[in-house]
């Protein structure tokens, strides 16, 4: 075994790239199974055309990819996962902040059209480099009795009930209507609602990874969901009530911004008023 100074380095080369609806890290789900059947395509480089033969017969495939948007300058031995209240060793988590930022997802393969793979249940950002593809084999890849380490005592199924006040429902409907006419301005309406539910279903405690904070002045609990800020309250029966939404942009950004997303936020404030958090 080589010593610390003798460890070789290895170069990897993408075999293709992902085209997905997620353009920012805050948009992407943390696991493909909670992606809400999000669809994407994987464009394979022409030189690997023959390597795709016989792949279409598989219902699911493993996609190995590179976390190209991770910009850590150093490798941390421990990270804070969303389901934990303390830091864990990075090798006991699926954090992208790893010595080698390699990710893997078991996606649904819907069909193959030439060099294009149509896939579903994706959690990868648009433009993600794909390193390899492997068929998902139930007889080899499924171990229902396997222990889940520090997660074994935590039910992986969300156990907090998330409800919405009439005010929040009205605001979500408004965003839905405006966003449907301009897909670049915001996630799809049901997607935004689902993201709020997914963020809060693991619990209301302030958590940096899940972007939950407590306002230092008012004491209110706020969760950041993409470019929106969501105020919520906690009941004693393990339920969470979403009270209302507000823009996550600064006033100057909204007033001077020229992107479709800024127009949406201007309309939102015009309709519901500014709500500083």
Rounded to whole angstroms, the Cα distance separating 260 from 117 reads 30
Predicted model pTM: 0.66
88 CB-near residues (< 8 Å, 6+ apart): 78, 79, 80, 81, 150
Phi, psi (rounded to 5 degrees) for 264 = -60, -45
pLDDT at 2: 62
Query: How confident is the prediction for the chain on average, in pLDDT?
Result: 84
Q: Which residue, 38, 50, 60, 45, is CA-closest to 129?
A: 45
Question: Cβ distance 243 to 167 under 8 Å?
Answer: yes
**Per-residue pLDDT at 239:** 92
| Average of per-residue pLDDT across 167-193 | 73
Q: What is the CA radius of gyration of the chain?
A: 21
Above 70 in pLDDT, residue 189? no
- Biggest CA–CA distance in the chain, Å, is 66
| Cα dist from 159 to 6, 152, 163, whole Å | 48, 15, 13
What tokens were used for 36? 């809400």
Q: Mean of the pLDDT values across residues 248-256?
A: 83
Strands of the sheet with 228-234, listed across from one edge: 161-164, 239-247, 228-234, 221-225, 212-214
- Evaluate if residue 106 carries a pLDDT over 50: yes
pLDDT beyond 70 at 97:
yes
Band of pLDDT at residue 60, cut at 50, 70 and 90:
very high
Q: From CA 21, how far away is CA 27, in angstroms rounded?
A: 9
pLDDT of residue 13: 95
Structure tokens at 89: 């060793």
* Strand runs labelled E in 94-251: 102-113, 116-120, 129-135, 161-164, 212-214, 221-225, 228-234, 239-247
- What is the per-residue pLDDT for 71? 73
Confidence of residue 188 (pLDDT cuts 50, 70, 90): very low
Q: Which carries the bigger pLDDT value, residue 237 or residue 113?
A: 113
pLDDT at 34: 58
CA distances from 67 to 22, 25, 99, 130, 180 (A): 14, 10, 11, 10, 30
pLDDT at 75: 62
- What is the rounded CA–CA span in Å between residue 199 and residue 203? 8
Torsion angles phi and psi, residue 253, rounded to 5: -60, -40
Q: Looking at residue 131, what is its pLDDT?
A: 97
Q: Where does the pLDDT of residue 3 fall: very low under 50, low under 70, confident under 90, or very high at 90 and above? A: low
Residue 260 has a pLDDT of 77
234 pLDDT higher than 70:
yes
Residue 26 confidence (pLDDT): 65
Kindly give, in sequence order, each residue whose CB lies less than 8 Å from that of residue 244, ignoring residues fewer than 6 positions away.
165, 167, 168, 171, 230, 231, 272, 275
143-159, pLDDT tens digit by residue? 877 888 877 655 555 57
Q: Which residue has the higher pLDDT, 185 or 26?
A: 26
pLDDT at residue number 119:
94
- At 185, the pLDDT band (50, 70, 90 cuts) reads very low
* Bridge partners, residue 39, by sequence: 120
Q: Which range, 31-35, 204-208, 220-224, 256-260, has the best average confidence (pLDDT)? A: 220-224
């Amino acid at each position: 075994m080589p010593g610390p100074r003798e460890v070789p380095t290895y170069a990897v080369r993408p075999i293709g790239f992902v085209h997905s609806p997620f353009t920012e890290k805050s948009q992407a789900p943390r696991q493909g199974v909670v992606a809400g059947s999000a669809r994407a395509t994987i464009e394979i480089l022409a030189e690997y055309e023959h390597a795709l033969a016989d792949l279409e017969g598989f219902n699911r495939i493993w996609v190995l990819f590179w976390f190209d948007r991770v910009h850590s300058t150093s490798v941390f031995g421990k990270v804070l996962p969303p389901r934990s209240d303390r830091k864990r060793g990075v090798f006991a988590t699926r954090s992208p902040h790893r010595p080698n930022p390699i990710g893997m997802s078991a996606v649904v393969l819907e069909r193959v059209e030439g060099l294009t793979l149509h896939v579903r249940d994706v959690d990868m950002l648009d433009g993600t480099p794909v390193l390899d593809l492997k068929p998902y084999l139930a007889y080899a890849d499924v171990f229902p009795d396997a222990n889940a380490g520090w997660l074994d005592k935590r039910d992986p199924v969300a156990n907090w009930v998330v409800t919405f006040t009439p005010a929040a429902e009205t605001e979500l409907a408004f965003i839905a209507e405006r966003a449907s006419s301009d897909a670049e301005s915001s996630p799809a309406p049901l997607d935004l609602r689902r993201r709020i539910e997914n963020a809060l279903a693991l619990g209301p405690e302030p958590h940096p990874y899940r972007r939950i904070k407590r306002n230092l002045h008012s004491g209110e609990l706020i969760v950041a969901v993409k470019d929106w800020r969501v105020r919520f309250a906690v009941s004693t029966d393990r339920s969470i009530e979403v009270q209302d939404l507000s823009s996550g942009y600064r006033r100057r950004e909204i007033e001077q911004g020229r992107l479709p997303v800024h127009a949406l936020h201007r309309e939102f404030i015009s309709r519901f008023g500014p709500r500083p958090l």
